[in-house]
Structure 1
Amino acid sequence: MSSEPSAAVLNKQGERGDNAQIIATVFITFVGFLNIGLPLAVLPTFVHGTLGYSTVMAGFAISIQYIATVLTRARVGRIADTKGPKLTVIWGLYAGFGSGAILLASALFESTPAVALGFLLASRLSLGICESLIGTGAIAWAIGRVGPEKTARIIAWNGVSTYGALAVGAPAGVAITGLSGFAGIGIAVMALSLVGLALALPKPATPMTARDNLLSFRSVLFRVLPHGTALALATAGFGTITTFVTLFYVARHWDGAAYALSAFGVAFIACRLLFADVINRWGGYPAAIVSLVVQVAGLTAVWAATGPAMALAGAAVTGFGFSLVFPAIGVEAVARVPPANRGSALALYSMFLDVSLGVTGPAAGWISGLFSEATPFLFGAVATLLSLAITAWLATGKRAG
């Protein structure tokens, strides 16, 4: 009897090895995004309460990070393509360390509010660059290590790391501030960045593919534009839940808005963990179409809710539906470009999500003011239906091609 392992055993061992490499890479994302989560809950209080600036400035201090992320996405994608994704992640961790150091300086100068605010805004810009570098680089690095056929799983698990880090980071930041003040956040961000570097530096870089035939920025953007548009419209539905569900509950005099947000988050993560491989089995477009239908149903339930239980269920269904939209459409977007342009495609595709989240809040708020506090969810459902139409059109074009 042969002692050689069977093909099934070898395949299972290879699958476990690939999963281990994916987890090791996206864990660096988790560490990097903890840097983003730590200041979230305490930064507005520091700007408004400690430094004495308006709530508008407190909000600007939060949003300037995302402005930096959007503005650097394209450049970061090119860095990942030309310098390699490992170096991209390492530079992101350096940017995170710099953000922590500048944040510490802001805390030390709190008696001089203008100086402290200047340091704080500089720290947020550095953190936005950190998010852009790590968010793009980690996915491209993992794809390079285990192969493009695992793209859906990589994007899905990387998203779990991202949202998980933000969920853990916010309460952790409150606890750190209670123990050691706002300066402790800066120190913690620096320490986490060093942990990330210790994890990233020993890992092998991925082999570089030929770089002499890189597509131009415009060409890559043109190829991912319809996919990014579908993502942006679907993200509008996600944005209405996270931004307006609390105000919706308050307007209806209901308790439990936090539970609705938690239900959304738990359903989102559960779907990513349990069903990410559906994208490989069905294909990106079919998985996205089913997900978008579920998301429309969830948003419609929130809009029509007659009680908090129905709104909570609708939020959970929305989270479940939105969960696979990014990786499902993203797989098809990345497949539209050569391997040498993978980083640029990922960065530009992700940029549509960033822009959508920036636009959705003001747009939905304007709609709410014109009509009612429930209307933003109808707006989100309509936007998701438009995303569904674009995705179905893309799927038809792929089958025809």
Structure 2
Amino acid sequence: MRVPVRRLWVAVLCGYLAFGAALQVLPTYVPGKFGGGALVSGTAIGIAFLATACGRPFAGWLADAGWSPPVVVTGGVLAAVGGLGQLLAPSLPVLLFARLVMGAGEAALFSAALPWVLSGTRTAQRGRLAGWFGLSMWGGLAAGPVLATLLTKATDSATAVVWWAVVLLCLASVVLVLTTRGEPGRVVGRIVRVRELVPVGVPLPGAIIGLAAYCYGTVAALLVLRLRAAHLHVDGFALSVFAGAFLLLRFAGSPLVDRYGGRVVAVVTIAVEIAALVGIALADGPGQAIVATAFAGFGMALIYPACVSLTLDRVRGLRPGVSMGVMTSFWDLGVMVAGPLGGLIAERAGFRTAFLVAAGAGLACIGVLLRMPRRARSPR
């Protein structure tokens, strides 16, 4: 049975456009409605990634066993409920709970759709297809802030319109999956046991993408606040610049992973990210800030396909749903930590220090890359 790859790609894109749009409005929505500073805002952003990190391996586990459609539909419904909860939340704890619900939905949406797609693909082509399909998630995260910015400029009741757009996008992903014909095949020949949810070969690529995620999480949670605090007057479109640079290089540069290998691409792109984070930290003019932000987008663009290549190579293509779910969970954990920790550092030591700490995480990422063996040790 042919797998509806394009329809699933659009379904995941809709869900992550909603997730990305929420990231744009939360840094001002949370303090404006409930009070607090960078720590509260960063926690609200980061807590969703806790649920996403916990949910991905189980979503991949169920999907590998042939349960992709109901898991993907459940993900879209949870994301819609979480978006509505953030709009209607009467208190900060309720908003944080809604963020957890939305994070769980986003985990199920992507991590069950990817094995569905891979079930109709030959093993030799899974790395490239996984990287391309991942663009639905990363494209949504990158373009979602752009969508939110356009909506806020076009309407008076800006925040409410963005949140309703979040809900409708998630429901659109549900409709796309419910109207999909056919059933997914199984990617593996047996159901993976719970104790096998972390395949050998995944933790090191996971550590790499987790450290890179701390860099991204710092940008997502603190960039708008850092630029606003410095009165550089570019905070309204800086995340859009980041998204544009990210999407440009992701579209044009993905074949570089196949040509040069995941390790080389990851080292180069993380080096660019380190320089960009230092540039954001030290920028004292709008031009410098925007250039550094654009390079931060370039630096994040290829880290996911690079880590997909590293992971599938080390696990030799086995159990891709679980492997990709666990590897991507490290990303979620990195973003989750970056929100509150970066916010705390910003409040205690300033925004510049927070971005320099993120650059240090990038250096640690390169260290792991350079020391990682090319092949994982086989379990005894």
Bucket of the pairwise TM-score, normalised by the shorter protein: 0.7 to 0.9
The separation in 2 between residues aligned to 1:271 and 1:321, in whole angstroms, is 9
- CA shift at 1:54, angstroms? 4.5
Q: Residues 306, 126 of structure 1: CA spacing in aligned structure 2 closer, same or farther, 3 A cutoff?
A: closer
Residue of structure 1 in register with 2:112 after alignment: 137
The separation in 2 between residues aligned to 1:166 and 1:151, in whole angstroms, is 24
**Which residue of 384, 389, 395 corresponds with 2:367?**
389
- CA shift at 1:268, angstroms? 0.8
SS at match of 2:192: coil
Aligned residues: 370
- CA shift at 1:28, angstroms? 0.6
Residue of structure 1 in register with 2:273 after alignment: 295
The separation in 1 between residues aligned to 2:161 and 2:289, in whole angstroms, is 39
- Equivalences for residues 1-400 of structure 1 within 5 A: 22-37=5-20, 53-55=34-36, 59=41, 64-99=47-82, 103=85, 107=88, 113=90, 123-147=98-122, 148-149=126-127, 150-169=129-148, 172=151, 178=157, 182=160, 185=163, 191-201=168-178, 202-212=180-190, 214=192, 217-218=195-196, 220=198, 222-337=200-315, 341-368=319-346, 371-394=349-372, 396-398=373-375
Q: Is contact 2:20–2:140 with CA below 8 Å preserved after alignment?
A: no
- CA shift at 1:135, angstroms? 2.0
Q: Which of structures 1 and 2 has the larger relative contact order (alpha carbons within 8 angstroms, sep 6+)?
A: 2
Higher Cα radius of gyration: 1
Q: Residues 33, 123 of structure 1: CA spacing in aligned structure 2 closer, same or farther, 3 A cutoff?
A: same
The separation in 2 between residues aligned to 1:46 and 1:119, in whole angstroms, is 14
Percent identical: 25
The separation in 1 between residues aligned to 2:212 and 2:247, in whole angstroms, is 17
Q: Residues 43, 264 of structure 1: CA spacing in aligned structure 2 closer, same or farther, 3 A cutoff?
A: closer
Q: Is contact 1:34–1:165 with CA below 8 Å preserved after alignment?
A: yes
Q: Is contact 2:57–2:197 with CA below 8 Å preserved after alignment?
A: no
Q: Residues 183, 340 of structure 1: CA spacing in aligned structure 2 closer, same or farther, 3 A cutoff?
A: same
Q: Is contact 2:49–2:332 with CA below 8 Å preserved after alignment?
A: yes
SS at match of 1:220: coil
Gaps of 5+ in 2: none
**TM-score for both structures, normalised by structure 2:** 0.80
The separation in 1 between residues aligned to 2:249 and 2:24, in whole angstroms, is 26
Q: CA RMSD in A?
A: 3.9
- CA shift at 1:324, angstroms? 0.5
The separation in 2 between residues aligned to 1:305 and 1:135, in whole angstroms, is 36
